[in-house]
Amino acid sequence: MRSQKEKIVEAKLFERVSKYPVCKKLLEAILSDEELHEMQDYANNVSIKRLGFNDHGPVHMRQVTKNAIKMLEILHEAGIKTSLEQEDMGSFEDSMCALILAGMCHDIGMMIGRQGHEEMSVMLSLPLIERILKSVFKDDLKKRVIIKSLATEAIIGHMTTRKIHSFEAGILLVADGCDMTKGRARIPLAIHSATPRIGDIHIYSANAIERVSIRRGTNKPLRVEVEMSSEVGYFQIEEVLLAKINSSPAKIFIEVYAGVKGQEKKCYL
């Protein structure tokens, strides 16, 4: 059963892909896959209840996917080609399909634990990805192979622990870093114990993030702007978001502004 938050983000996802028929068909197949949803739910249970981290479940994975699609569209409108387009190996829509798959699967490895969860996400998601791609691209083996490979790179590279090379994987890396508003920390804070635990700084810093906006930039094609309620939010900016951007092949196209509400924002990139 989907939560209200999941349904809201899903509606926004469908709105974003409405002009891309293949992506819409792929998204429908993903969101109707009950096994994937159960995996996302259990990953969130492990993340929040067992490990004390913030949301890594169905809402987060949908939000990251939405972020990635929005970033890809903004950069596309600025005339920037994806890796598949540059290499004549696929279309813009193929790149978006890979990002949708990666975004919806990138954290399911949290079902097993935090350490190496990106590798676990790949292992657990590959059968799902292959099944979904076969339903959408039944007679196009080449396209299935390329999209699967690109999605796999994006999943395994979303923690900056492994060097990535494609523009698409770089977008997912940044899209993941941008999902850091206080909503992700709501449940962990509600069940938080008095005993300090690993991951607490992520919870408290995320709780200080009021808003993250993704839009066309002024000096660069893409702008990420973060507004926070207190300076503890700078941890999320400097240790999480910037670390991901600095490892992304898309870094040269991104500008970042962040600051406490009511104060002048700092320009990081």
Domains of the chain, residue spans: 4-267
Separation of alpha carbons 127 and 118, rounded Å = 15
Task: Give the pLDDT confidence score for residue 195 in this predicted structure.
Answer: 54
Task: Give the pLDDT confidence score for residue 181 in this predicted structure.
Answer: 82
Cβ neighbours for 15, distance < 8 A, ≥ 6 positions apart: none
- DSSP lists the bridge partners of residue 230 as none
Cβ neighbours for 234, distance < 8 A, ≥ 6 positions apart: 205, 228, 258
Gap between the terminal Cα atoms of the chain: 41
- Say whether pTM exceeds 0.85: yes
- Rg, Å, the chain Cα set: 18
pLDDT along the chain (269 residues), means of 10: 92 97 98 97 95 91 98 98 98 98 98 96 98 97 98 97 97 96 56 52 77 96 96 90 97 97 93
The answer to whether the beta carbons of residues 164 and 247 sit under 8 Å apart is yes
Task: Give the pLDDT confidence score for residue 179 in this predicted structure.
Answer: 94
